[in-house]
A = this chain, B = another copy of it.
Amino acid sequence: MSNSRIYTAALIVIGDEILSGRTQDKNISQIAKWLNVQGIRLGEVRVIADDMDAIAEAVNILRERNDYLFTTGGIGPTHDDITVDAVSKALDVDVIIHPTARAILEKYYADKGGVNEGRLRMARVPDGAELIENRMSGAPGIRIGNLYLMAGVPHITAGMLDALTGTLEGGAPLLSSTLGAWAPESEIADVLRAAEKAHEGCQIGSYPFFRNGTVGANFVVRSTDAHELETCRVALKAGLEEAGYEVTDGGI
């Protein structure tokens, strides 16, 4: 029996490289999708510069108003990796060398020149933290309270998410169902509004596109209740057909 409470998470993406436009973020979307499967909703994301005070401020605001807070980025070996320091500041705890993290790094770097000062930075954690397994490279992720500090490199984050799968308490996963039509969304706005209004607990998102010289849109119905979702989907499909559009199940 699934839990009917709604669980929420926030995400802080840490890194000047996202704010400068140099790097295209890929973690928001992969963490959002992973959270959906855990029955947790991503409610807010902030992208913050490599700045101690800005990170600490965002950490304290978001960890208090969400069940979970994830961060990505800033846990590597270089001078611009300050997430552990900023989180420790926010939580008012010391930074310590985690003995298991140190052992993992010593093993990982045994045939790669050993652990130097930069590499040892990756064993630093806020006092009281546990490690999150890194299945891709050496340095682990970090959990402390409801905070999860993940890597910035998307495929390393993916491995950490995999290691966390099933370990977070969540509610009913958010289900979705998609319909598509070659309809300008401006022609069927009232159909969407009526369908959403008539089905409590359902949300309808409208995502227009322009392809092969023609406009169309996909309509994503979302609900945690499978029955409501299906009822809303059927009503929306009927409304769109009544408005004169052919509807494609699963979207275009």
Which A residues have a C-beta under 8 Å from some C-beta of B? 13, 16-26, 28-33, 35-36, 41-49, 54, 76-80, 109, 112-113, 116-119, 121-122, 153, 174, 176, 184-190, 192-193, 196, 203-208, 220, 222
Contact = CB atoms under 8 A, between A and B. Distances in A.
A19 B66 CA distance: 14
Given A79-B196, A190-B117, A193-B78, A207 B23 contact: yes
A22 B205 contact: yes
Contacts of A26: 24
A19 B43 contact: yes
A118 B208 CA distance: 14
Copies in the complex: 2
Contacts of A76: 185-186, 206, 208
Contact of A185 (B25, B78, B112, B184): B78
B119 A186 contact: yes
Majority SS at the chain A contact face: mixed
A113 B80 contact: no
A187 B118 contact: yes
A15 to B, nearest CB: 8
A41 to B, nearest CB: 8
Given A18-B29, A80-B204, 20 more contacts: A16-B205, A17-B207, A19-B45, A20-B222, A21-B30, A21-B33, A22-B220, A44-B46, A45-B45, A45-B47, A46-B46, A46-B47, A77-B186, A77-B189, A78-B206, A79-B192, A112-B184, A116-B186, A116-B187, A118-B186
